[in-house]
Structure 1
């Protein structure tokens, strides 16, 4: 674990932030801004104490953030640490490759790759926010009105008005706040990723050893098929086994693997459907996959527009977007949640240095610049990775599988200095992962401030 940090730097003057959205990104941002010395109000349409299902991938760049927050060291003791990535052929469930997360590499990163239960993480963040003095209001936002320079009102459907200096849009991939910056009709997107999340009671899976054998404990298992893929992490200590099924496109001339139109399903994390309504075509998968899916009781369907948001700051700097409201890093990938936490820490770190209201504009512009570069690069990497595990039959798929097979017999190594990056495949692959894994949002802001902060303070 990283050493326990000294008390955070706090702003010389305090602003009031109104965070729209009480999910993971909203809670993380609220906590980061509150500990930076500001007043924070969260507006969430649902009861924030309402339980949620599913699991969250927590890569090292996100783990690094959480480890610095109170109580998280104990939290991680009960989390599932991932040992590696297991690649399987969807049609047969045969193993084709395994990327081990070597201890030597993870020690250099000073952070591990975990899978966390969504509800557990949300509960921890909620406790941190409440203990720090974040105010939480239940209500539905219908309008945002600017009343002066860094004076803004958030209007709720019951006519209540919450005033503040800056509004944070943390209301997810179906964001209402984003429309105040870029109307939905102006968002250019030529890609859509459909996904289905299925929760299976662990006791039911354990009773079927032939299905339990499809993946190993604490391995991030990826089943690759033509036009779609399925992922899961088996954690025998958990009460549920979560399957994530997604497709980045229907292939030209082929039926969509996920077709919600036929059954009239509405997408959204808050909509739960009986497993009998499942809109998935699994005919290309091993028959055991269909049996595994049928152990589930319910599922949730999402349809994510993949786009590049040109601006994540609007209303003359009084509205700032974070998480899925700001970018479309794949919800069924490894870095969707981690990007939201990086957004939160970047905002908090920047505004912990606020000394004058004259600096606000420069700080929000800096946030936009730093996060846009990072999230665009991450989206590109994640989307290309998804395409690779959804390749149709052909030479590209064969080449991918041959490459993955080389990872199964890889000898142990101490560090990258012992390897030849020109000939060692694993080193080449790991270098791509490390670009994402080693990023430290707090350190990135500190480095930026050491170079350019004088321009704001003088």
Structure 2
């Protein structure tokens, strides 16, 4: 699609991760001008992509719409066969208390599967897609300030200022700059609640609706598959591609293979962070695995053995924000991905939420011809806000409830485990039973961001667009 240089929107994307690159590619394909500002150097940007990505069906459905994605999944990803839930008890072998298989007939009905993939391969694929369509990517651009600026067509644009003093001006800025987002602060300031929501130590700060805590901690450890395969006690974890989740006292450890060479363990601590969790050195660099072992004393010996195989652990603190808006009041800033949502770290929907946001944005701005997109920008951004405010609470609620559920302490965890045990004998279960077990998953897995946009467009386009041709597209 050809661009009209004077009439197309110029998007400035801050952050070259999954959310930023996916948005950049889709908006460029919709005919707009896009520049991505990434603070790391080009070499760092491609090299520092550790970890893995969970790709549930609501994400794989979208991913497979991108060129080359099916081949990527076939060659680089592992298909997940289901979840296994284990209860750890005082250093004894853990008890299998529940399971959630992903039967072929249900996955066929969904039209897509659940995958695990190393982060570096998905990131590399998205980076190559952006480059192939002419997205401008500026590496080494560390953003220090964002200012509203006078613009044409009565729009207020944005000027992004880098640490070096360089400036980039655009019509709309996308904040895809992660958990330590500079762009989120603009939305928080607009709500006049920045001080309460940014300080999870404050006694008088408001408690978000989603969780009775304002922040929690997670750690990730990577282990070469070869080390696990060579140990007869650990090798069974590589069989059948299940996703084992071990539950302890206030913590859980999720484990899975993300590719031929990568196995990951994710510790989630479903309680407010301890004082030593906020050590900046630990948060900015690798931390000895002894810090993880302190939290898992009651765990299955095999889990602790796996942890000791990791060379280091990487920690994150997630602060919970209850943001009612994802778009600035002047319609010149939109914040996406980990920068805005409170989908739990180490959860199922982190990357999926970012992908849905990117596809929602890209599809909305493909509805209005680039030549009049500036005139329709506020209307389309309002549509984005409406769609995401309907969708995002469901993902946030599901992921946050999982953090609490998997980390329950006695006696509540006994009721949880009794409920889990009902899933151990589902072979031959009737449709009503399967529907009850699968209901929550289906509602989240079956969502298609493109369909949500099309439905919104059908209902509202004639009322808000500036051009009848756009409304009829």
Structure-1-length-normalised TM-score: 0.89
Whether the 8 Å contact between 1:12 and 1:353 is mirrored in structure 2 is no
1:37-56 equivalent positions in 2, closer than 5 A: 37-47=31-41, 48-56=45-53
Counterparts of 2:335 and 2:280, CA distance in 1: 28
Instruction: Give the C-alpha shift of residue 197 in structure 1.
Output: 0.2
User: Could you tell me which of 220, 239, 242 is aligned with 2:261?
Assistant: 239
- The alignment partner of 1:261 has SS state of helix
| Cα displacement string for residues 126-160 of structure 1 (whole angstroms, at most 9, x for unaligned residues) | 01111011111121111112222242211111011
1:369 is matched with 386
* Structure 1, unaligned runs of 5 or more: 1-6, 251-257
Whether the 8 Å contact between 1:165 and 1:318 is mirrored in structure 2 is yes
Counterparts of 1:8 and 1:75, CA distance in 2: 28
Counterparts of 1:445 and 1:307, CA distance in 2: 25
| Cα displacement string for residues 332-379 of structure 1 (whole angstroms, at most 9, x for unaligned residues) | 110011000000001111111224322111111111121122111211
Counterparts of 1:8 and 1:440, CA distance in 2: 28
User: Could you tell me which of 322, 331, 334 is aligned with 2:348?
Assistant: 334
1:441 is matched with 449
1:202-213 equivalent positions in 2, closer than 5 A: 202-213=225-236
Counterparts of 2:366 and 2:314, CA distance in 1: 38
The answer to whether residue 80 in structure 2 is matched with residue 82 in structure 1 is yes
Instruction: Give the C-alpha shift of residue 52 in structure 1.
Output: 1.6
Instruction: Give the C-alpha shift of residue 314 in structure 1.
Output: 1.1
Counterparts of 2:338 and 2:278, CA distance in 1: 26
User: Could you tell me which of 151, 155, 158 is aligned with 2:161?
Assistant: 155
Counterparts of 1:265 and 1:216, CA distance in 2: 38
User: Could you tell me which of 353, 359, 362 is aligned with 2:376?
Assistant: 359
- The alignment partner of 2:188 has SS state of coil
* Structure 2, unaligned runs of 5 or more: 198-205, 469-473
1:324 is matched with 338
1:255 is matched with none
- In the superposition, relative to structure 1, how do residues 76 and 214 fare at CA in structure 2: closer, same or farther (>3 Å)? closer
2:195 is matched with 185
| Cα displacement string for residues 240-295 of structure 1 (whole angstroms, at most 9, x for unaligned residues) | 21100011215xxxxxxx74617935465x63234355474211212332222110
User: Could you tell me which of 245, 264, 275 is aligned with 2:279?
Assistant: 264
1:450 is matched with 458
| Cα displacement string for residues 295-350 of structure 1 (whole angstroms, at most 9, x for unaligned residues) | 00011000101221122111501010010112111121100110000000011111
| Cα displacement string for residues 39-76 of structure 1 (whole angstroms, at most 9, x for unaligned residues) | 11000111322232111110000000001110001111
Whether the 8 Å contact between 2:46 and 2:120 is mirrored in structure 1 is no
Whether the 8 Å contact between 2:78 and 2:241 is mirrored in structure 1 is yes
Runs of at least 4 residues of structure 1 off by over 6 A? 7-12
Whether the 8 Å contact between 2:25 and 2:133 is mirrored in structure 1 is yes
| Cα displacement string for residues 81-112 of structure 1 (whole angstroms, at most 9, x for unaligned residues) | 00111111123322122211011111111110
The answer to whether residue 187 in structure 2 is matched with residue 173 in structure 1 is no
Counterparts of 1:113 and 1:11, CA distance in 2: 41
State the number of aligned residues. Answer: 434
1:191-202 equivalent positions in 2, closer than 5 A: 191-202=214-225
- The alignment partner of 2:94 has SS state of coil
Counterparts of 1:332 and 1:359, CA distance in 2: 37
2:436 is matched with 428
Greater Cα shift, 369-378 or 318-327: 369-378
Q: Flag the structure with higher helix content.
A: 2
1:263-342 equivalent positions in 2, closer than 5 A: 264-266=279-281, 268=283, 271-276=285-290, 278=292, 280-314=294-328, 316-342=330-356
User: Could you tell me which of 246, 251, 269 is aligned with 1:223?
Assistant: 246
Counterparts of 2:460 and 2:26, CA distance in 1: 22
Greater Cα shift, 372-381 or 326-335: 372-381
Whether the 8 Å contact between 1:180 and 1:315 is mirrored in structure 2 is no
- In the superposition, relative to structure 1, how do residues 156 and 261 fare at CA in structure 2: closer, same or farther (>3 Å)? same
Counterparts of 1:296 and 1:39, CA distance in 2: 43
